[in-house]
Amino acid sequence: MGMGKWLKIGMVVGVIAIIREVSKHYGFGFDKDTGIKAIREWSDRLGVWAIPVFVGFHTLTIALCLPYAVFFEAAASLLFGFFPAVLCVFSAKLLGASLSFWIGRLVFKSSNSAMEWAQRNKYFHILSRGVEKDGWKFVVLARFSPMPSYVINYALAATNVGFVVDFLLPTIIGCLPMILQNTSIGSLAGAAVASTSSSWKSQTHLMVKQEERV
């Protein structure tokens, strides 16, 4: 596992730990167990609609270019478990990318100023030349690149690529590794917090027993 993955795991665990300590300090009564319980109760209340609602919100964050995708992908493992989370995030990724593509195509086809703006963008020129030369194979490579996915979605909409062969299929291939990484991060972060919480409770229980003996 690379340093980048460990850094993301550390950030997620750190944020959870900070929230927990602040809430304890100010008497909010929030800890890991109650937080997870509240999330799962929300999921239980929605019942069979929990996954569709999650997929819908995640799809919108992708289409609207909001910087919350990684948090949705990490949280999915806590909500639904690893394998259902992979299916949820995979569905949202495809729907979000498709929605972005058609929104972009509608805007660029109907607005000359939007098309002129896209053509001035450096990413557009990279993607446009690459697609003209290598077609769907270049789109797969772009999906594996550090280029933000929302930039790829909208920039490709301004080109003449076909939707199914040149956009959708490469997106399916290219998004899987990142989905597996981020959902794994959620699982590992949850396990790390659970382990820390369990260890802290065990130590507290042992200290209480020792005090009772004294």
Looking at residue 181, its pLDDT comes to 81
| pLDDT for position 39 | 60
Helix/strand/coil percent split, the chain, to 5: 85, 0, 15
Q: What is the pLDDT of residue 195?
A: 55
- Interval 134-157: pLDDT, tens: 888 989 998 988 888 888 899 899
Instruction: Report d(CA 31, CA 23) in Å as an integer.
Output: 8
| ∠ CA 30-196-54, rounded to 5° | 55
Output the pLDDT for position 26: 46
Residue 10: what residue type? G
The DSSP output letter for 47 is G
Q: Is 135 helix (H, G, I), strand (E, B) or coil?
A: coil
Q: Decide: helix, strand or coil at residue 81.
A: coil
**What is d(CA 32, CA 16) in angstroms, rounded to the nearest whole number?**
8
Hunting for tokens 């729907």 — which residue is that? 95
Residue 212: per-residue pLDDT: 43
Q: How far is it, in rounded angstroms, from Cα 54 to Cα 76?
A: 8
Domain boundaries, the chain: 42-202
pLDDT less than 50: residues of the chain: 5-9, 11-13, 15-16, 18-20, 22-23, 26-32, 197-214
CA 143 to chain centre: 15
The predicted model scores a pTM of: 0.67
pLDDT in tens, 57-92: 889 988 888 877 777 777 787 788 788 888 999 999
Q: Which residues of 90-124 are buried (b: 16+ CB within 10 A; e: fewer)?
A: bbbbbbbbbbbbeebbeebeeeeebeeebeeeebb
Q: How many Å apart are CA 128 and CA 137, to the nearest integer?
A: 13
